[in-house]
Amino acid sequence: MITSLKLFANIIGVICMHVTGLIKWCYCIRYNEEIVHIVTKLEKCHVLCQQFDNCEKGTSISQIYKDEMEYARRWSNWYLWWSLCIYIYGVIHWCSNPFLAHLLADHTNSINQTFRKINLPYIGWYPIDIDDMENFICVYLLQFSGSISSVLGIAWFDAFYICMVLIICAQFQYINTILENTDFHNATFALERKLKNCLDCHVQIIK
């Protein structure tokens, strides 16, 4: 019973990681046109947000927008690189664990011990003899590359989603700042133009 639970615990996490990565890769491939459409919309919103007039308080609208987008860019990059480092470190640590365990066993036991084969990082059935060194290396590299592909799919998908949300929030915050700095005693034409620009930008963002 205990052996079965250990085997289950060793397999379930690996399966979930690979399935999650596969699903996100397939989603990006299947809905590639929709993703490109979203990026195009964000670019259009970016252009619209740069077409506002200057504030009355001396700080240009373009500078406010640059500050908002710089904030979103900084936190997007922070999430991307930290998540990549954590995911890749986890894969490297997992895949190197059999070698580390083997070296530790060699160090703690007597020198005259019999050679014990190194296990592969992931448990599975293999149609080839993995006791052969060349076959072992090939299977090991396949497992390692498969793990890296899965975590890259997870990391890039999540990073794109986080980046998109941060940019949208920054653009909404920018529109809010524009409206807060609006002097409603200005000429009707200028006020109407500013409100129309805000409305157009808002509509493009929520589409």
For residue 109, the one-letter residue type is: N
3-state DSSP call for residue 65? helix
Q: Say what the pLDDT of residue 205 is.
A: 57
Note the pLDDT of residue 195: 56
Give one DSSP letter per residue of 169-180, joined into a string.
HHHHHHHHHHHH
Total domains, the chain: 1
pTM for the whole structure: 0.68
Give the pLDDT score at 56. Answer: 46
Q: Report residue 114 CA to chain centroid gap.
A: 45
pLDDT of residue 2: 55
Nearest to 174 by CA among 46, 13, 36: 46
Maximal C-alpha separation, the chain? 93
Structure token digits, residue 113: 């011990």
Range of the domain at 103: 1-206
CB 164, CB 38: distance < 8 Å: yes
What are the C-alpha distances in Å from 204 to residues 44, 142, 163?
A: 8, 44, 17
Taking the C-alpha atoms of residue 139 and residue 146, their distance in angstroms, rounded to an integer, is: 10
For tokens 């046109």, the residue is 33
Note down pLDDT in tens along the chain; length 207 residues. Answer: 556 666 676 777 778 888 888 888 888 888 888 888 888 887 777 777 776 654 444 456 667 778 888 888 888 889 989 988 998 998 888 888 877 776 766 666 544 444 456 777 777 777 777 778 788 888 888 888 888 888 888 888 888 888 888 888 888 787 777 766 655 555 454 555 555 665 565 565 555
